[in-house]
Structure 1
Amino acid sequence: MAADRPRTSVSAWKPPVPGITEVFHAHFTEHAYPAHTHDTWDLMILDDGSVDFALDRRRHGASSAASVLLLPPGVPHDGRTVTAAGFRKRVLYLDDSVLPQRLSGRAVDTPVFRDELLRRRIGQLHTALGQAGDGFEAESRLSFVRERLHLHLAATRPRRPGREANRLAAELRDLLDARIHLGVTLHEAAALLHARPTHLIRCFKQTYGLPPHAYLTGKRIDRARRLLLAGHRPAEVATTVGFHDQAHLNRHFTRHVGTTPGRYGRPRASSACASTTS
Protein backbone atom coordinates (compact mmCIF):
# COMPACT_ATOMS: atom_id res chain seq x y z
CA MET A 1 0.00 0.00 0.00
CA ALA A 2 1.43 3.38 -1.01
CA ALA A 3 2.29 5.83 1.73
CA ASP A 4 -0.06 8.75 2.16
CA ARG A 5 1.07 11.89 0.41
CA PRO A 6 1.67 14.99 2.57
CA ARG A 7 -1.44 17.16 2.48
CA THR A 8 -0.95 20.63 1.05
CA SER A 9 -3.60 23.23 0.35
CA VAL A 10 -2.72 26.68 -0.96
CA SER A 11 -4.71 29.67 -2.24
CA ALA A 12 -3.41 33.13 -3.08
CA TRP A 13 -4.82 36.27 -4.65
CA LYS A 14 -4.21 40.00 -5.07
CA PRO A 15 -7.04 41.98 -3.44
CA PRO A 16 -8.05 45.44 -4.71
CA VAL A 17 -7.07 47.01 -1.38
CA PRO A 18 -4.21 49.53 -1.27
CA GLY A 19 -1.34 48.35 0.91
CA ILE A 20 -1.95 44.60 0.51
CA THR A 21 0.11 43.03 -2.26
CA GLU A 22 -1.03 39.44 -1.68
CA VAL A 23 -3.29 37.26 0.46
CA PHE A 24 -1.97 33.72 1.05
CA HIS A 25 -3.80 30.86 2.81
CA ALA A 26 -2.11 27.48 3.24
CA HIS A 27 -2.24 24.15 5.06
CA PHE A 28 1.09 22.30 5.21
CA THR A 29 1.74 18.97 6.90
CA GLU A 30 5.33 18.60 5.74
CA HIS A 31 7.08 21.69 4.49
CA ALA A 32 10.28 23.58 5.14
CA TYR A 33 10.88 27.00 3.66
CA PRO A 34 14.51 27.66 2.73
CA ALA A 35 16.05 30.92 3.95
CA HIS A 36 14.70 33.78 1.85
CA THR A 37 13.57 37.40 2.01
CA HIS A 38 10.51 39.41 0.95
CA ASP A 39 10.18 42.97 -0.33
CA THR A 40 7.05 43.28 1.80
CA TRP A 41 6.01 42.77 5.42
CA ASP A 42 4.76 39.22 6.14
CA LEU A 43 1.84 39.34 8.62
CA MET A 44 0.74 35.84 9.64
CA ILE A 45 -1.79 34.19 11.92
CA LEU A 46 -2.00 30.45 12.56
CA ASP A 47 -5.39 28.79 12.66
CA ASP A 48 -3.97 25.44 13.70
CA GLY A 49 -0.63 23.90 14.63
CA SER A 50 2.79 25.37 15.32
CA VAL A 51 5.74 26.67 13.32
CA ASP A 52 9.43 27.02 13.98
CA PHE A 53 11.34 29.71 12.11
CA ALA A 54 14.58 31.63 12.08
CA LEU A 55 14.67 35.39 11.56
CA ASP A 56 18.05 37.05 11.12
CA ARG A 57 19.70 33.80 12.35
CA ARG A 58 17.67 33.66 15.60
CA ARG A 59 15.13 30.86 16.05
CA HIS A 60 11.56 31.45 17.21
CA GLY A 61 8.41 29.40 17.67
CA ALA A 62 4.73 30.22 17.48
CA SER A 63 1.44 28.37 17.95
CA SER A 64 -2.12 29.13 16.93
CA ALA A 65 -3.17 30.48 20.35
CA ALA A 66 -3.41 34.28 19.99
CA SER A 67 -0.06 34.53 18.21
CA VAL A 68 0.62 37.06 15.46
CA LEU A 69 3.83 36.79 13.42
CA LEU A 70 5.29 39.85 11.72
CA LEU A 71 8.37 39.37 9.52
CA PRO A 72 9.95 42.58 8.18
CA PRO A 73 11.03 43.16 4.58
CA GLY A 74 14.58 42.38 3.52
CA VAL A 75 15.44 40.21 6.55
CA PRO A 76 16.28 36.53 5.86
CA HIS A 77 13.96 33.96 7.41
CA ASP A 78 12.97 30.33 7.02
CA GLY A 79 10.15 28.20 8.41
CA ARG A 80 9.17 24.59 9.04
CA THR A 81 6.43 22.41 10.47
CA VAL A 82 6.80 21.19 14.05
CA THR A 83 4.33 18.29 14.33
CA ALA A 84 2.99 15.64 11.98
CA ALA A 85 -0.32 17.50 11.81
CA GLY A 86 1.44 20.51 10.29
CA PHE A 87 -0.12 23.96 10.43
CA ARG A 88 -2.70 26.19 8.80
CA LYS A 89 -1.82 29.82 8.22
CA ARG A 90 -3.27 32.99 6.76
CA VAL A 91 -0.80 35.59 5.56
CA LEU A 92 -1.03 39.20 4.40
CA TYR A 93 1.86 40.71 2.48
CA LEU A 94 1.88 44.44 3.25
CA ASP A 95 3.80 47.20 1.50
CA ASP A 96 5.50 50.15 3.18
CA SER A 97 2.40 52.33 2.86
CA VAL A 98 1.03 50.25 5.75
CA LEU A 99 4.28 49.92 7.71
CA PRO A 100 7.38 51.94 6.81
CA GLN A 101 10.63 50.00 6.66
CA ARG A 102 12.13 52.20 9.40
CA LEU A 103 10.09 50.10 11.87
CA SER A 104 11.85 46.87 10.87
CA GLY A 105 14.26 46.86 13.82
CA ARG A 106 11.57 46.25 16.44
CA ALA A 107 10.04 43.45 14.36
CA VAL A 108 13.43 41.72 14.08
CA ASP A 109 13.79 41.79 17.86
CA THR A 110 10.21 40.66 18.57
CA PRO A 111 8.54 38.99 15.56
CA VAL A 112 5.82 37.20 17.58
CA PHE A 113 3.09 39.18 19.36
CA ARG A 114 0.70 37.71 21.92
CA ASP A 115 -2.18 40.06 21.16
CA GLU A 116 -5.70 38.64 21.00
CA LEU A 117 -7.23 41.91 19.77
CA LEU A 118 -4.75 42.20 16.91
CA ARG A 119 -5.27 38.56 15.97
CA ARG A 120 -9.06 39.02 15.95
CA ARG A 121 -8.76 42.14 13.78
CA ILE A 122 -6.52 40.32 11.31
CA GLY A 123 -9.04 37.47 11.13
CA GLN A 124 -11.84 39.95 10.44
CA LEU A 125 -9.75 41.51 7.70
CA HIS A 126 -9.20 38.11 6.05
CA THR A 127 -12.96 37.52 6.14
CA ALA A 128 -13.61 40.87 4.45
CA LEU A 129 -10.93 40.17 1.84
CA GLY A 130 -12.60 36.89 0.99
CA GLN A 131 -15.88 38.62 0.12
CA ALA A 132 -15.83 40.19 -3.34
CA GLY A 133 -16.94 43.80 -3.47
CA ASP A 134 -16.37 44.63 0.21
CA GLY A 135 -13.36 46.88 -0.36
CA PHE A 136 -14.57 49.65 1.95
CA GLU A 137 -14.89 47.23 4.85
CA ALA A 138 -11.50 45.67 4.11
CA GLU A 139 -9.89 49.12 4.01
CA SER A 140 -11.47 49.98 7.35
CA ARG A 141 -10.29 46.77 8.97
CA LEU A 142 -6.79 47.18 7.54
CA SER A 143 -6.60 50.63 9.11
CA PHE A 144 -7.22 49.18 12.57
CA VAL A 145 -4.69 46.39 11.98
CA ARG A 146 -2.17 49.01 10.90
CA GLU A 147 -2.85 51.12 13.99
CA ARG A 148 -2.36 48.12 16.29
CA LEU A 149 0.89 47.16 14.57
CA HIS A 150 2.18 50.72 14.95
CA LEU A 151 1.33 50.48 18.63
CA HIS A 152 3.61 47.45 18.92
CA LEU A 153 6.42 48.79 16.75
CA ALA A 154 6.47 52.50 17.56
CA ALA A 155 4.53 52.75 20.83
CA THR A 156 2.10 55.29 19.33
CA ARG A 157 -1.29 55.66 21.00
CA PRO A 158 -4.49 55.95 18.92
CA ARG A 159 -6.24 59.29 19.09
CA ARG A 160 -9.67 59.16 20.72
CA PRO A 161 -12.69 61.11 19.42
CA GLY A 162 -12.95 64.56 20.96
CA ARG A 163 -15.20 67.57 20.45
CA GLU A 164 -14.95 67.31 16.68
CA ALA A 165 -16.41 63.76 16.61
CA ASN A 166 -19.97 64.77 15.71
CA ARG A 167 -18.81 67.20 13.02
CA LEU A 168 -16.50 64.66 11.37
CA ALA A 169 -19.16 61.96 11.60
CA ALA A 170 -21.78 64.19 9.98
CA GLU A 171 -19.39 65.17 7.19
CA LEU A 172 -18.58 61.53 6.51
CA ARG A 173 -22.26 60.60 6.51
CA ASP A 174 -22.99 63.35 3.97
CA LEU A 175 -20.14 62.06 1.82
CA LEU A 176 -21.40 58.47 1.99
CA ASP A 177 -24.97 59.57 1.20
CA ALA A 178 -23.70 61.42 -1.87
CA ARG A 179 -21.66 58.42 -3.02
CA ILE A 180 -24.08 55.53 -2.46
CA HIS A 181 -23.74 54.32 -6.05
CA LEU A 182 -20.13 55.26 -6.78
CA GLY A 183 -18.75 54.58 -3.32
CA VAL A 184 -15.68 56.13 -1.76
CA THR A 185 -12.47 54.63 -0.44
CA LEU A 186 -11.61 55.12 3.19
CA HIS A 187 -8.36 56.89 2.35
CA GLU A 188 -10.15 59.21 -0.07
CA ALA A 189 -12.68 60.09 2.63
CA ALA A 190 -9.90 60.65 5.17
CA ALA A 191 -8.06 62.94 2.77
CA LEU A 192 -11.20 64.93 1.94
CA LEU A 193 -12.08 65.36 5.62
CA HIS A 194 -8.49 65.86 6.83
CA ALA A 195 -8.61 63.05 9.39
CA ARG A 196 -6.78 59.80 10.03
CA PRO A 197 -8.81 56.79 8.78
CA THR A 198 -9.11 55.08 12.18
CA HIS A 199 -10.02 58.37 13.89
CA LEU A 200 -12.69 58.99 11.28
CA ILE A 201 -14.17 55.51 11.84
CA ARG A 202 -14.17 55.97 15.62
CA CYS A 203 -15.92 59.34 15.35
CA PHE A 204 -18.58 57.87 13.07
CA LYS A 205 -19.21 54.85 15.28
CA GLN A 206 -19.33 56.99 18.44
CA THR A 207 -21.90 59.29 16.83
CA TYR A 208 -24.10 56.85 14.89
CA GLY A 209 -23.50 53.53 16.63
CA LEU A 210 -22.13 51.57 13.68
CA PRO A 211 -19.03 51.72 11.46
CA PRO A 212 -19.24 53.65 8.18
CA HIS A 213 -18.97 50.57 5.95
CA ALA A 214 -22.04 49.09 7.70
CA TYR A 215 -23.92 52.38 7.32
CA LEU A 216 -23.17 52.48 3.57
CA THR A 217 -24.29 48.87 3.12
CA GLY A 218 -27.55 49.61 4.95
CA LYS A 219 -28.26 52.61 2.73
CA ARG A 220 -27.65 50.49 -0.37
CA ILE A 221 -30.01 47.79 0.93
CA ASP A 222 -32.75 50.38 1.56
CA ARG A 223 -32.42 51.68 -1.98
CA ALA A 224 -32.38 48.12 -3.35
CA ARG A 225 -35.64 47.30 -1.56
CA ARG A 226 -37.42 50.23 -3.19
CA LEU A 227 -36.15 49.31 -6.65
CA LEU A 228 -37.09 45.63 -6.25
CA LEU A 229 -40.62 46.55 -5.17
CA ALA A 230 -40.85 48.78 -8.25
CA GLY A 231 -40.21 45.73 -10.42
CA HIS A 232 -36.53 46.04 -11.26
CA ARG A 233 -34.48 42.88 -11.72
CA PRO A 234 -31.94 41.96 -9.00
CA ALA A 235 -28.96 42.03 -11.38
CA GLU A 236 -29.89 45.56 -12.47
CA VAL A 237 -30.53 46.65 -8.89
CA ALA A 238 -27.13 45.38 -7.72
CA THR A 239 -25.13 47.68 -9.99
CA THR A 240 -27.58 50.57 -9.63
CA VAL A 241 -27.15 50.80 -5.87
CA GLY A 242 -23.40 50.23 -5.87
CA PHE A 243 -22.88 46.53 -5.19
CA HIS A 244 -20.13 44.68 -7.03
CA ASP A 245 -22.52 42.18 -8.63
CA GLN A 246 -25.72 40.25 -7.93
CA ALA A 247 -23.95 37.74 -5.67
CA HIS A 248 -22.64 40.66 -3.58
CA LEU A 249 -26.19 42.06 -3.31
CA ASN A 250 -27.63 38.62 -2.48
CA ARG A 251 -25.22 38.09 0.42
CA HIS A 252 -25.87 41.43 2.11
CA PHE A 253 -29.58 41.56 1.26
CA THR A 254 -30.23 38.13 2.77
CA ARG A 255 -28.34 39.06 5.94
CA HIS A 256 -30.28 42.33 6.32
CA VAL A 257 -33.76 41.33 5.15
CA GLY A 258 -33.91 37.56 5.73
CA THR A 259 -34.71 36.63 2.15
CA THR A 260 -33.11 36.92 -1.28
CA PRO A 261 -33.68 39.89 -3.61
CA GLY A 262 -35.50 37.60 -6.07
CA ARG A 263 -38.01 36.46 -3.46
CA TYR A 264 -38.41 39.93 -1.97
CA GLY A 265 -39.74 41.40 -5.19
CA ARG A 266 -42.31 38.69 -5.90
CA PRO A 267 -46.03 39.51 -5.35
CA ARG A 268 -47.77 37.66 -2.51
CA ALA A 269 -49.97 34.79 -3.61
CA SER A 270 -52.96 36.14 -1.67
CA SER A 271 -52.62 39.51 -3.40
CA ALA A 272 -52.48 37.82 -6.78
CA CYS A 273 -55.64 35.80 -6.03
CA ALA A 274 -57.49 38.85 -4.78
CA SER A 275 -56.71 40.78 -7.94
CA THR A 276 -58.07 38.01 -10.19
CA THR A 277 -61.35 37.63 -8.27
CA SER A 278 -62.21 41.29 -7.77
Structure 2
Amino acid sequence: MGARPDITAWRPRVEGIDEVFHAHFADHAYPMHTHDAWTLLIVDEGMVRYDLDRHEHGAPSSVVTLLPPHVPHNGDAATPEGFRKRVLYLNTSQIDAGLAGRAVDRPVLHDPRLRHRVDQLHRTLERPGDELEAQSRLSLVSERLAHHLRDESAAPPVPDPKLAHRLRELLDEHVVEGVTLREAAELLHSHHTHLVRAFSREFGMAPHQYLTARRVDLARRLLLGGMRAPEVATSVGFYDQSHFSRHFKRVVGTSPGHYARAGQAAYRRSSAPRTKAA
Protein backbone atom coordinates (compact mmCIF):
# COMPACT_ATOMS: atom_id res chain seq x y z
CA MET A 1 0.00 0.00 0.00
CA GLY A 2 1.44 3.39 -1.03
CA ALA A 3 1.94 6.36 1.23
CA ARG A 4 -1.09 8.57 1.73
CA PRO A 5 -0.80 11.75 -0.36
CA ASP A 6 -0.75 15.18 1.24
CA ILE A 7 -3.27 17.28 -0.69
CA THR A 8 -4.82 20.74 -0.35
CA ALA A 9 -7.29 22.09 -2.92
CA TRP A 10 -9.58 25.08 -2.99
CA ARG A 11 -11.34 27.50 -5.29
CA PRO A 12 -10.13 31.02 -4.52
CA ARG A 13 -12.23 34.17 -4.76
CA VAL A 14 -10.07 35.35 -7.63
CA GLU A 15 -11.55 35.61 -11.09
CA GLY A 16 -9.50 33.70 -13.63
CA ILE A 17 -8.40 30.88 -11.31
CA ASP A 18 -10.68 27.85 -11.33
CA GLU A 19 -8.74 25.86 -8.73
CA VAL A 20 -5.60 25.82 -6.60
CA PHE A 21 -4.08 22.38 -6.00
CA HIS A 22 -1.11 21.59 -3.74
CA ALA A 23 0.05 17.99 -3.43
CA HIS A 24 2.87 15.75 -2.25
CA PHE A 25 2.81 12.35 -3.93
CA ALA A 26 5.21 9.55 -3.09
CA ASP A 27 4.16 7.01 -5.69
CA HIS A 28 1.05 8.22 -7.51
CA ALA A 29 0.98 8.01 -11.32
CA TYR A 30 -1.58 10.03 -13.27
CA PRO A 31 -3.21 8.21 -16.20
CA MET A 32 -3.83 10.06 -19.45
CA HIS A 33 -6.40 12.79 -18.82
CA THR A 34 -7.36 16.33 -19.82
CA HIS A 35 -8.49 19.56 -18.15
CA ASP A 36 -10.89 22.27 -19.27
CA ALA A 37 -8.45 24.89 -17.98
CA TRP A 38 -4.82 25.86 -18.52
CA THR A 39 -2.62 23.92 -16.09
CA LEU A 40 0.16 26.05 -14.58
CA LEU A 41 2.54 23.82 -12.63
CA ILE A 42 5.60 24.39 -10.47
CA VAL A 43 7.44 21.60 -8.65
CA ASP A 44 8.98 22.31 -5.23
CA GLU A 45 10.55 18.92 -4.52
CA GLY A 46 11.52 16.06 -6.81
CA MET A 47 10.67 15.99 -10.49
CA VAL A 48 7.61 15.10 -12.57
CA ARG A 49 7.79 13.17 -15.83
CA TYR A 50 4.85 13.40 -18.24
CA ASP A 51 3.77 12.74 -21.82
CA LEU A 52 2.06 15.48 -23.83
CA ASP A 53 0.99 14.98 -27.44
CA ARG A 54 3.14 11.80 -27.67
CA HIS A 55 6.28 13.57 -26.46
CA GLU A 56 7.95 13.02 -23.11
CA HIS A 57 8.79 16.00 -20.90
CA GLY A 58 10.20 16.64 -17.46
CA ALA A 59 9.29 19.24 -14.84
CA PRO A 60 12.12 19.91 -12.36
CA SER A 61 11.83 22.52 -9.64
CA SER A 62 13.61 25.23 -11.66
CA VAL A 63 11.01 25.60 -14.42
CA VAL A 64 7.38 26.55 -14.99
CA THR A 65 5.16 24.11 -16.88
CA LEU A 66 2.10 25.26 -18.82
CA LEU A 67 -0.25 22.62 -20.24
CA PRO A 68 -3.07 23.73 -22.57
CA PRO A 69 -6.74 22.80 -22.14
CA HIS A 70 -8.17 19.62 -23.68
CA VAL A 71 -4.77 18.10 -24.56
CA PRO A 72 -4.23 14.63 -23.00
CA HIS A 73 -1.28 14.19 -20.64
CA ASN A 74 -0.21 11.92 -17.82
CA GLY A 75 2.38 12.24 -15.06
CA ASP A 76 4.43 10.43 -12.44
CA ALA A 77 7.48 10.90 -10.26
CA ALA A 78 10.88 10.91 -11.93
CA THR A 79 12.64 10.65 -8.56
CA PRO A 80 12.42 7.89 -5.91
CA GLU A 81 11.14 10.23 -3.19
CA GLY A 82 8.16 11.37 -5.24
CA PHE A 83 7.34 15.01 -5.84
CA ARG A 84 5.72 18.06 -4.26
CA LYS A 85 3.88 20.38 -6.63
CA ARG A 86 1.66 23.45 -6.73
CA VAL A 87 -0.83 23.88 -9.55
CA LEU A 88 -3.08 26.69 -10.72
CA TYR A 89 -5.90 25.83 -13.08
CA LEU A 90 -6.36 29.03 -15.04
CA ASN A 91 -9.63 29.85 -16.75
CA THR A 92 -9.40 29.91 -20.53
CA SER A 93 -10.11 33.64 -20.41
CA GLN A 94 -6.60 34.20 -19.03
CA ILE A 95 -4.67 33.05 -22.12
CA ASP A 96 -5.66 33.21 -25.78
CA ALA A 97 -6.91 29.79 -26.91
CA GLY A 98 -5.04 30.32 -30.18
CA LEU A 99 -1.79 29.86 -28.26
CA ALA A 100 -2.60 26.29 -27.22
CA GLY A 101 -0.52 24.83 -30.06
CA ARG A 102 2.52 26.79 -28.89
CA ALA A 103 2.04 25.38 -25.39
CA VAL A 104 1.90 21.83 -26.76
CA ASP A 105 5.20 22.36 -28.57
CA ARG A 106 6.93 24.08 -25.62
CA PRO A 107 5.24 23.38 -22.28
CA VAL A 108 8.44 23.91 -20.27
CA LEU A 109 9.37 27.54 -19.58
CA HIS A 110 12.87 28.33 -18.30
CA ASP A 111 12.14 31.68 -16.69
CA PRO A 112 13.29 32.29 -13.08
CA ARG A 113 11.36 35.55 -12.88
CA LEU A 114 8.14 33.85 -13.93
CA ARG A 115 8.85 30.99 -11.49
CA HIS A 116 9.19 33.55 -8.69
CA ARG A 117 5.98 35.32 -9.68
CA VAL A 118 4.01 32.06 -9.71
CA ASP A 119 5.41 31.21 -6.28
CA GLN A 120 4.35 34.63 -4.95
CA LEU A 121 0.89 34.19 -6.42
CA HIS A 122 0.46 30.86 -4.63
CA ARG A 123 1.55 32.40 -1.33
CA THR A 124 -0.92 35.25 -1.78
CA LEU A 125 -3.77 32.87 -2.56
CA GLU A 126 -3.19 31.13 0.76
CA ARG A 127 -4.13 34.34 2.61
CA PRO A 128 -7.87 35.11 2.62
CA GLY A 129 -8.59 38.79 2.12
CA ASP A 130 -5.69 39.50 -0.25
CA GLU A 131 -7.72 38.99 -3.41
CA LEU A 132 -6.74 42.32 -4.99
CA GLU A 133 -3.07 41.42 -4.56
CA ALA A 134 -3.73 37.99 -6.09
CA GLN A 135 -5.53 39.60 -9.03
CA SER A 136 -2.58 41.91 -9.61
CA ARG A 137 -0.08 39.06 -9.46
CA LEU A 138 -2.22 36.89 -11.73
CA SER A 139 -2.40 39.63 -14.36
CA LEU A 140 1.39 39.84 -14.53
CA VAL A 141 1.77 36.05 -14.61
CA SER A 142 -0.76 35.70 -17.44
CA GLU A 143 0.94 38.49 -19.38
CA ARG A 144 4.33 36.81 -19.09
CA LEU A 145 2.93 33.42 -20.10
CA ALA A 146 1.41 34.93 -23.25
CA HIS A 147 4.71 36.74 -23.85
CA HIS A 148 6.52 33.39 -23.90
CA LEU A 149 3.97 31.69 -26.13
CA ARG A 150 4.05 34.51 -28.67
CA ASP A 151 7.87 34.68 -28.67
CA GLU A 152 7.72 38.40 -28.00
CA SER A 153 11.08 40.06 -27.47
CA ALA A 154 9.95 43.68 -27.25
CA ALA A 155 9.29 45.27 -23.86
CA PRO A 156 5.67 46.12 -22.99
CA PRO A 157 4.53 49.66 -23.89
CA VAL A 158 5.20 52.49 -21.43
CA PRO A 159 2.13 52.88 -19.19
CA ASP A 160 0.04 56.06 -19.23
CA PRO A 161 0.53 58.07 -15.98
CA LYS A 162 -2.96 59.57 -16.35
CA LEU A 163 -4.37 56.05 -16.10
CA ALA A 164 -2.50 55.55 -12.84
CA HIS A 165 -4.00 58.70 -11.31
CA ARG A 166 -7.50 57.72 -12.40
CA LEU A 167 -7.05 54.32 -10.73
CA ARG A 168 -5.83 55.99 -7.54
CA GLU A 169 -8.93 58.16 -7.49
CA LEU A 170 -11.07 55.06 -7.94
CA LEU A 171 -9.32 53.28 -5.06
CA ASP A 172 -9.78 56.37 -2.88
CA GLU A 173 -13.50 56.23 -3.57
CA HIS A 174 -13.72 52.56 -2.53
CA VAL A 175 -11.30 52.23 0.37
CA VAL A 176 -13.59 50.18 2.58
CA GLU A 177 -15.58 48.10 0.10
CA GLY A 178 -12.69 47.71 -2.33
CA VAL A 179 -12.78 47.20 -6.07
CA THR A 180 -11.67 44.28 -8.24
CA LEU A 181 -9.23 44.72 -11.08
CA ARG A 182 -11.90 43.72 -13.56
CA GLU A 183 -14.28 46.35 -12.23
CA ALA A 184 -11.52 48.95 -12.38
CA ALA A 185 -10.60 47.94 -15.93
CA GLU A 186 -14.21 48.26 -17.07
CA LEU A 187 -14.69 51.63 -15.39
CA LEU A 188 -11.42 53.02 -16.73
CA HIS A 189 -11.70 51.36 -20.17
CA SER A 190 -8.32 49.68 -19.92
CA HIS A 191 -6.82 46.20 -19.59
CA HIS A 192 -6.27 45.13 -16.00
CA THR A 193 -2.58 44.38 -16.61
CA HIS A 194 -2.07 47.89 -17.97
CA LEU A 195 -3.64 49.25 -14.79
CA VAL A 196 -1.21 47.37 -12.56
CA ARG A 197 1.81 48.41 -14.62
CA ALA A 198 0.75 52.05 -14.88
CA PHE A 199 0.03 52.39 -11.17
CA SER A 200 3.23 50.64 -10.08
CA ARG A 201 5.37 52.75 -12.42
CA GLU A 202 3.78 56.05 -11.41
CA PHE A 203 3.57 55.59 -7.65
CA GLY A 204 6.25 53.01 -6.88
CA MET A 205 3.78 50.58 -5.33
CA ALA A 206 1.12 48.16 -6.56
CA PRO A 207 -2.60 49.03 -6.33
CA HIS A 208 -3.18 46.49 -3.54
CA GLN A 209 -0.35 48.01 -1.49
CA TYR A 210 -1.88 51.47 -1.84
CA LEU A 211 -5.34 50.26 -0.81
CA THR A 212 -3.93 48.39 2.19
CA ALA A 213 -2.01 51.48 3.32
CA ARG A 214 -5.16 53.61 3.05
CA ARG A 215 -7.09 51.10 5.15
CA VAL A 216 -4.35 51.01 7.78
CA ASP A 217 -4.36 54.81 8.00
CA LEU A 218 -8.10 54.78 8.57
CA ALA A 219 -7.71 52.03 11.15
CA ARG A 220 -5.15 54.06 13.10
CA ARG A 221 -7.58 56.93 13.47
CA LEU A 222 -10.37 54.63 14.63
CA LEU A 223 -8.12 52.87 17.14
CA LEU A 224 -6.99 56.18 18.63
CA GLY A 225 -10.63 57.20 18.76
CA GLY A 226 -11.38 54.28 21.07
CA MET A 227 -12.90 51.70 18.70
CA ARG A 228 -12.01 48.07 19.52
CA ALA A 229 -9.65 46.31 17.14
CA PRO A 230 -12.14 43.59 16.00
CA GLU A 231 -14.64 46.29 15.08
CA VAL A 232 -11.98 48.32 13.30
CA ALA A 233 -10.98 45.32 11.15
CA THR A 234 -14.36 45.04 9.44
CA SER A 235 -15.02 48.78 9.50
CA VAL A 236 -12.06 49.57 7.27
CA GLY A 237 -12.45 46.65 4.84
CA PHE A 238 -10.19 43.86 6.09
CA TYR A 239 -11.31 40.24 5.76
CA ASP A 240 -11.06 39.42 9.47
CA GLN A 241 -9.05 40.21 12.61
CA SER A 242 -6.10 38.06 11.52
CA HIS A 243 -5.98 39.72 8.11
CA PHE A 244 -6.14 43.14 9.75
CA SER A 245 -3.46 42.40 12.34
CA ARG A 246 -1.03 41.00 9.79
CA HIS A 247 -1.19 44.01 7.50
CA PHE A 248 -1.32 46.55 10.34
CA LYS A 249 1.86 45.16 11.90
CA ARG A 250 3.58 45.07 8.52
CA VAL A 251 2.83 48.74 7.89
CA VAL A 252 2.99 50.25 11.40
CA GLY A 253 5.50 47.92 13.05
CA THR A 254 3.30 46.83 15.94
CA SER A 255 -0.04 45.13 16.54
CA PRO A 256 -3.34 47.05 16.52
CA GLY A 257 -3.87 46.29 20.21
CA HIS A 258 -0.45 47.60 21.25
CA TYR A 259 -0.89 50.67 19.08
CA ALA A 260 -4.26 51.44 20.66
CA ARG A 261 -2.95 50.94 24.21
CA ALA A 262 0.04 53.18 23.52
CA GLY A 263 -2.26 55.86 22.14
CA GLN A 264 -4.57 55.67 25.16
CA ALA A 265 -1.64 55.91 27.57
CA ALA A 266 -0.31 58.98 25.75
CA TYR A 267 -3.76 60.58 25.88
CA ARG A 268 -4.05 60.02 29.63
CA ARG A 269 -0.64 61.56 30.19
CA SER A 270 -1.47 64.60 28.10
CA SER A 271 -4.85 65.03 29.80
CA ALA A 272 -3.64 64.68 33.40
CA PRO A 273 -3.66 67.97 35.39
CA ARG A 274 -0.20 69.39 35.94
CA THR A 275 0.88 70.50 39.39
CA LYS A 276 2.68 73.80 39.77
CA ALA A 277 6.18 73.74 41.12
CA ALA A 278 6.59 75.28 44.58
Fold equivalence (TM over 0.5): yes
**Matched length:** 272
- Give me the identity figure in percent: 54
Match of 2:213 in 1: 218
Task: Give the secondary structure class of the aligned counterpart of 1:35.
Answer: strand
- Structure 1 stretches of 4+ with a deviation exceeding 3 A read 155-159, 267-278
- For structure 2, the residue ranges without an aligned partner over 5 or more in a row are none
TM-score for both structures, normalised by structure 1: 0.92
Contact 1:172 1:189 in 2 (8 A): yes
Counterpart of 2:173 (choices 178, 181, 184) is 178
Cα separation, partners in 2 of 1:275 and 1:189, compared to 1, 3 Å = closer
Q: CA deviation at 1:266?
A: 1.1
Q: CA deviation at 1:194?
A: 1.6
CA RMSD of the aligned region, Å?
A: 1.9
Structure 1 residue 258 corresponds to structure 2 residue 246: no
Alignment of 1:201-212 (within 5 A): 201-212=196-207
Counterpart of 1:60 (choices 49, 57, 60) is 57
Contact 1:204 1:211 in 2 (8 A): yes
Q: CA deviation at 1:242?
A: 0.9
Contact 1:125 1:138 in 2 (8 A): yes
Contact 1:228 1:237 in 2 (8 A): yes
Match of 1:73 in 2: 69
1:123 is matched by which residue type in structure 2? D
Match of 2:126 in 1: 130
Distance in 2, Cα, partners of 1:273 & 1:143: 50
Q: CA deviation at 1:272?
A: 5.1
2:15 is matched by which residue type in structure 1? P
Distance in 2, Cα, partners of 1:271 & 1:6: 60
Distance in 2, Cα, partners of 1:271 & 1:215: 29
TM-superposition CA deviations, 1:13-72 (whole Å, max 9, x none): 00011110100001112110111111111100011111110012211112102x011111
Match of 2:114 in 1: 118
Match of 1:88 in 2: 84
Q: CA deviation at 1:100?
A: 3.0
Task: Give the secondary structure class of the aligned counterpart of 1:46.
Answer: strand
Counterpart of 2:46 (choices 39, 45, 49) is 49
Distance in 2, Cα, partners of 1:168 & 1:269: 44
Alignment of 1:221-260 (within 5 A): 221-260=216-255
Task: Give the secondary structure class of the aligned counterpart of 1:102.
Answer: helix
Distance in 2, Cα, partners of 1:243 & 1:271: 27
Task: Give the secondary structure class of the aligned counterpart of 1:96.
Answer: coil
TM-score for both structures, normalised by structure 2: 0.92
